[in-house]
């Protein structure tokens, strides 16, 4: 070891001792600890990053998080729709050969003046007037007005609705009409000499020109016999206040 090196080491030792004696020990230690910490961080694979880089990384992570949340909401919405329409889509598969389309009900009017639905399908979807609308095996109504994006369905409960029908047990024929009540229908043109069974199910008959036979209309709830005809009240087979989706029968 040369004399110069010994002299440098001696003065370096004197400087360190003076620093510890005259200055704050923690502050002096920090000057020596910092390079060690930097070296340790580097050896552990942790790279030093400036504050700006950290902010940029934070913003990138926030953007990724927002995109993930958006995609999660989209998937959740899709899953909800799939679950909501699962049973009705399964029903539609039975009628694939006659083109049955599942549609959402956008709005409904169930007043004492008029009874109708507005459905989320129109001219762009191939919807036409006089198409039949059903919910599973029950008749909902007939399309009366078609617009580019949506269509209007006159419900079987509307007072202007009249559908050829027959009773399941007795085979008695008649005409089912609406009375502008969401749950009630009337079966008319049934002779007073015919025997009517309360609880019997009434279906569309082959006598109708628009509606195919076999769709449920309602169950007989009350019967009052008049001089020539029975006054028969039905309870609608489908709850028009609660359903959210229905199906359009594109071909009859």
| 26-44 b/e (C-beta count within 10 Å ≥ 16 → b) | eeeeeeeeeeeeeeeeeee
Within the chain, which residues score under 70 in pLDDT? 1-51, 73, 76-77, 80-99, 208-209, 251-252
Q: What is the pLDDT of residue 79?
A: 72
Residue 31 half-sphere exposure, CB side, CA atoms within 13 Å?
8
Q: Per the CATH hierarchy, to which homologous superfamily does domain 162-236 belong?
A: Rod shape-determining protein MreC, domain 2 (2.40.10.350)
Q: What is the pLDDT of residue 83?
A: 67
Q: What is the pLDDT of residue 179?
A: 93
Look up residue 190 and give its two tokens: 């049934």
Nearest-angstrom CA–CA distance, 135 and 86: 13
80-120 pLDDT, tens digit per residue, is 666 666 666 665 665 555 567 888 999 999 999 999 999 99
| Contact yes or no for 238/178 (Cβ under 8 A) | no
130-160 pLDDT, tens digit per residue, is 999 998 889 999 999 999 999 999 999 999 9
Number of H helices and number of E strands within the chain? 3, 12
Decide: helix, strand or coil at residue 107: strand
Decide: helix, strand or coil at residue 189: coil
- Ranges of H-type helices in the chain: 3-22, 25-43, 51-93
Residue 89 half-sphere exposure, CB side, CA atoms within 13 Å?
7
Instruction: Tell me the domain boundaries of the chain.
Output: 3-43, 162-236
Nearest-angstrom CA–CA distance, 233 and 214: 19
Q: What is the pLDDT of residue 217?
A: 93
Mean pLDDT of the chain: 79
| Contact yes or no for 68/75 (Cβ under 8 A) | no
Q: What is the pLDDT of residue 69?
A: 75
Q: What is the pLDDT of residue 39?
A: 61
Q: Which of 118, 187, 188, 115 has the alpha carbon at shortest distance from 157?
A: 115
Question: Greatest CA span in the chain, whole angstroms?
Answer: 139
Look up residue 56 and give its two tokens: 């940029």
């Amino acid at each position: 070891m040369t004399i110069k090196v010994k002299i440098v080491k001696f003065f370096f030792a004197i400087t360190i001792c003076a620093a510890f004696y005259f200055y704050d020990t923690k502050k002096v230690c920090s000057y020596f600890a910092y390079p060690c910490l930097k070296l340790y961080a580097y050896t552990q694979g942790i790279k030093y990053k400036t504050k700006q880089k950290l902010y940029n990384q934070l913003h990138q992570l926030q953007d990724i998080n927002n995109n993930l949340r958006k995609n999660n909401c989209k998937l959740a919405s899709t899953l909800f729709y799939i679950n909501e329409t699962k049973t009705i889509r399964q029903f539609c598969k039975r009628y694939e050969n006659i083109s049955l389309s599942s549609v959402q009900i956008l709005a409904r009017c169930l007043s004492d003046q008029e009874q109708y639905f507005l459905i989320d399908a129109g001219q762009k979807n191939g919807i036409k007037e006089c198409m039949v609308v059903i919910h599973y095996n029950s008749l909902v109504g007939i399309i009366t007005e078609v617009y580019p994006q949506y269509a209007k369905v006159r419900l079987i409960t509307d007072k202007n609705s009249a559908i050829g029908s027959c009773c399941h047990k007795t085979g008695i024929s008649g005409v089912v009409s609406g009375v502008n009540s969401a749950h009630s229908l009337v079966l008319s043109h049934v002779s007073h000499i015919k025997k009517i069974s309360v609880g019997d199910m009434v279906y569309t008959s082959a006598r109708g020109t628009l509606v195919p036979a076999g769709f449920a209309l309602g169950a007989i709830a009350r019967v009052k016999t008049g001089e020539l005809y029975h006054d028969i009240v039905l309870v609608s087979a489908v709850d028009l206040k609660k359903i959210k989706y229905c199906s359009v029968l594109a071909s009859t």
